[in-house]
């Protein structure tokens, strides 16, 4: 082939290739453009849908917010409206109350006026009626006196007796209620009151322990004891501090005094004077002084013997002397030294059982009544006097407290105080510890029974427990339960007023009704 043809063919091929390529490229571009347009349309559609969705959501949110705000506003408005309504109701209620009170006040004013007018009328009517009643009463009294055969004074007496009986019944019921209410709390308080009352009012000596009798060889000695114009007896009484009683008692003179130590000095001195035969003032003073010294020495020996018996050591000499003086003192007929030794032994035994120091317990028991041996010029309860003495002579603080607290004059600080109090009670309450003459004992029991028997309705009386209790059996037909309570109180009051006795006496009224029937 010719080169031209080849060149032309190549050019044509190239053109055809370019044309084909252009055509293909054009087709592809058109397809891409169409695809891009469709993609853009899809994007626009999606965007439009999303925008619509967002718009709907925002609209919904806006509507919800609007509804919420609207609901809050409506609630707030409703609350304010209700509050206003409530305030209006309250105001209306207050206004109604004021109106009602005003009406009530007006009514009351009218009622008061009417009442005052009625009172004036009634007062006038009552004045007239009182006069009429007085007249009628006088007439009726005359009729009653004629019908009943009683005078007005007799009728008054019967009415008063009836009222007194009613009052007694009411009083008995009240007393019974008070007793029941106070029984639980009264025991401790009653014990304290009784202890204080006994301690302050009971005498330490009975009649039998305030006198000593000296036997004479003959009644001629009485004249020598009296002396010319009574100078011997006056000198004797001045030297001893006791009363010398010389009466018609054959061959005996009586030494009277509350101090047992002085009585003992006087008794021994008088016996020495009678034995010596020389009785005159100078000799009397000499013998009395000598006897005092001898007894002082004896007292110290007695105190030392008591300490030796109990195994107690290192006690001040003055306390030893006071312990010896206990031999010549008594309490309710019980020898004070024997009582104190007994209390000391009891305290030692109980202290050993409880694991306490028996020496401290014994010292406290022995010294618990030491205050009774001090001169009468010292005032105060014997427990506190003993407490001060023990402190003065430097006794153990537990011993001092036990002495002062055994009658609860001061507070108990140690177990030893309780032991002393218990031992003191045991020793004093022991049967036979506190003596009383048989004659006085029988008289006291008879007096107890006679006082109880003097009341109406009493059937039998029995004095028991050595006169510490009297039991009264009443007739049930004459004495009821309420009257029995009153009877017990009245008997106790009579005993308090008419008798003298140590401690206390219990009055028990027994009312028993027996119903008997026989089956045939």
DSSP 434: S
Angstrom distance (rounded) from CA 452 to CA 473? 10
CA dihedral 339, 340, 342, 343 (to 10 degrees): 120
Segment (H or E) for 121: helix 3-148
Angstrom distance (rounded) from CA 60 to CA 57? 5
Angstrom distance (rounded) from CA 74 to CA 289? 121
| 191-310 and 318-435, same CATH topology | no
Angstrom distance (rounded) from CA 492 to CA 448? 10
Segment (H or E) for 462: strand 458-464
pTM for the predicted model, two decimal places: 0.44
Protein fold of 191-310: Ribosomal Protein S8; Chain: A, domain 1 (3.30.1370)
SS3 506: strand
| Token pair listed for 458 | 């009493």
- DSSP alpha helix (H) spans, 149-219: 152-201
Side-chain-side CA neighbours of 207 within 13 Å: the count stands at: 7
Angstrom distance (rounded) from CA 274 to CA 21? 187
- Residue carrying the six token digits 């002062």: 404
Side-by-side strand order, sheet with 469-474: 458-464, 469-474, 506-511
Kindly report the number of other CB atoms within 10 A of residue 468's CB atom: 15
CATH superfamily of 438-511: K homology (KH) domain (3.30.300.20)
Burial class from Cβ neighbours inside 10 Å (0-12, 13-18, 19+) for residue 443 reads exposed
Sequence length of the chain is 520
Kindly report the number of other CB atoms within 10 A of residue 393's CB atom: 16
Contact 262, 311 (CB under 8 A): no
> How distant, in Å, are the alpha carbons of 6, 249, 270, 508 from that of 233?
203, 17, 11, 52
Angstrom distance (rounded) from CA 295 to CA 265? 7
Give residue limits of the domains in the chain: 159-183, 191-310, 318-435, 438-511
Shortest CA distance to 236 belongs to which of 189, 286, 299?
286
* Max CA pair span of the chain: 219
Contact 464, 452 (CB under 8 A): no
Contact 485, 520 (CB under 8 A): no
Contact 347, 361 (CB under 8 A): yes
> Three-state secondary structure along 34-61?
HHHHHHHHHHHHHHHHHHHHHHHHHHHH
Which phi and psi (to 5°) does residue 510 adopt?
-115, 125
| Token pair listed for 495 | 């005993």
Angstrom distance (rounded) from CA 317 to CA 300? 8
- DSSP alpha helix (H) spans, 255-381: 260-276, 281-310, 317-325, 336-354, 358-367
**Exposure string for 95-113, b = 16+ CB within 10 A, e = fewer:** eeeeeeeeeeeeeeeeeee
Which phi and psi (to 5°) does residue 276 adopt?
-75, -35
Contact 343, 365 (CB under 8 A): yes
Angstrom distance (rounded) from CA 171 to CA 119? 40
Contact 479, 443 (CB under 8 A): no
Contacts of residue 410, defined as CB under 8 A and 6 or more positions apart, other chains included, come to 383, 384, 387, 401, 404
β-pairing, 506-511 vs 469-474, is parallel
Shortest CA distance to 179 belongs to which of 478, 488, 462?
488
Contacts of residue 66, defined as CB under 8 A and 6 or more positions apart, other chains included, come to none
Contacts of residue 399, defined as CB under 8 A and 6 or more positions apart, other chains included, come to 360, 363, 364, 367, 390, 416
pLDDT digits (tens, 9 = 90+) for 137-196: 777 667 666 665 556 676 667 667 767 776 667 666 676 666 666 665 655 665 555 455
Kindly report the number of other CB atoms within 10 A of residue 479's CB atom: 20
> Three-state secondary structure along 375-415?
CCCCCCCHHHHHHHHHHHCCCCHHHHHHHHHCCCCCCCCCH
How do the pLDDT tens digits run along the chain, 520 residues long?
566 777 777 777 777 777 777 777 777 777 777 887 788 888 888 888 888 888 888 888 888 888 888 888 888 888 888 888 888 888 888 888 888 888 888 888 888 888 888 888 888 888 887 788 778 777 766 766 666 555 667 666 766 776 777 666 766 667 666 666 666 565 566 555 545 544 443 443 344 456 777 777 777 777 777 778 888 788 888 888 788 777 777 777 887 777 777 888 888 888 888 887 787 888 888 888 888 888 888 888 888 888 888 888 888 888 888 888 888 777 666 778 888 888 888 898 888 888 888 888 888 888 888 888 876 556 778 888 888 888 888 888 888 988 888 887 888 888 888 888 888 877 765 545 555 445 666 777 888 889 888 888 888 888 876 677 888 888 888 888 778 888 888 898 888 888 877 667 888 888 877 677 778 7
Protein fold of 318-435: Hypothetical protein af1432 (1.10.3210)
């Amino acid at each position: 082939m010719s080169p031209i043809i080849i060149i032309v063919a190549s050019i044509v091929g190239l053109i055809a290739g370019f044309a084909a390529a252009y055509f293909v490229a054009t087709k592809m571009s058109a397809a891409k453009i169409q695809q891009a347009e469709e993609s853009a349309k899809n994007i626009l559609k999606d965007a439009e849908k999303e925008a619509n969705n967002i718009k709907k959501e925002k609209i919904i949110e806006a509507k919800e917010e609007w509804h919420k705000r609207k609901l809050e506003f409506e609630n707030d408005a409703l609350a304010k409206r209700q509050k206003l309504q409530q305030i209006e109701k309250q105001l209306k209620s207050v206004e109604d109350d004021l109106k009602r009170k005003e009406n009530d006040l007006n009514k009351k004013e009218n009622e008061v006026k009417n009442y005052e007018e009625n009172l004036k009328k009634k007062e006038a009517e009552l004045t007239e009626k009182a006069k009429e009643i007085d007249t009628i009463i006088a007439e009726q009294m005359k009729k009653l006196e004629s019908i009943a055969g009683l005078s007005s004074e007799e009728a008054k007496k019967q009415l008063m007796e009836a009222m007194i009986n009613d009052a007694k019944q009411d009083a008995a019921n009240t007393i019974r209620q008070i007793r029941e209410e106070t029984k639980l709390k009264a025991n401790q308080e009653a014990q304290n009151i009784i202890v204080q009352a006994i301690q302050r009012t009971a005498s330490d000596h009975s009649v039998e322990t305030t006198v000593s009798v000296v036997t004479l060889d003959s009644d001629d000695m009485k004249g020598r004891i009296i002396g010319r114009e009574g100078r011997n007896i006056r000198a004797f009484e001045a030297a001893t501090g006791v009363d010398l009683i010389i009466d018609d008692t054959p061959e005996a003179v009586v030494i009277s005094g509350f101090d047992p130590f002085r009585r003992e000095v006087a008794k021994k001195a008088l016996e020495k004077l009678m034995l010596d035969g020389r009785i005159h003032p100078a000799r009397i003073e000499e013998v009395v002084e000598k006897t005092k010294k001898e007894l002082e020495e004896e007292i110290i020996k007695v105190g030392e013997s008591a300490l030796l018996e109990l195994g107690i050591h290192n006690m001040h000499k003055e306390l030893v002397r006071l312990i010896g003086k206990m031999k010549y003192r008594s309490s309710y007929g019980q020898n004070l030294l024997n009582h104190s030794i007994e209390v000391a032994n009891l305290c030692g035994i109980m202290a050993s059982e409880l694991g306490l120091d028996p020496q401290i317990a014994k010292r406290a028991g022995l010294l618990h009544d030491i205050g009774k041996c001090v001169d009468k010029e010292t005032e105060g309860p014997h427990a506190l006097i003993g407490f001060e003495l023990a402190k003065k002579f430097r006794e153990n603080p537990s011993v001092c407290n036990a002495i002062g607290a055994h009658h609860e004059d001061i507070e108990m600080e140690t177990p030893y105080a309780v032991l002393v109090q218990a031992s003191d009670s045991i020793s004093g309450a022991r049967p036979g510890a506190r003596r009383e003459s048989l004659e006085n004992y029988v008289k006291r029991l008879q007096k107890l029974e006679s006082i109880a028997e003097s009341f109406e309705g009493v059937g039998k009386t029995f004095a028991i427990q050595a006169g510490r209790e009297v039991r009264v059996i009443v007739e049930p037909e004459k004495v009821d339960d309420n009257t029995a309570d009153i009877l017990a109180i009245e008997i106790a009051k009579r005993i308090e007023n008419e008798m003298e006795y140590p401690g206390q006496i219990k009055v028990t009224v027994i009312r028993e009704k027996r119903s008997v029937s026989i089956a045939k």
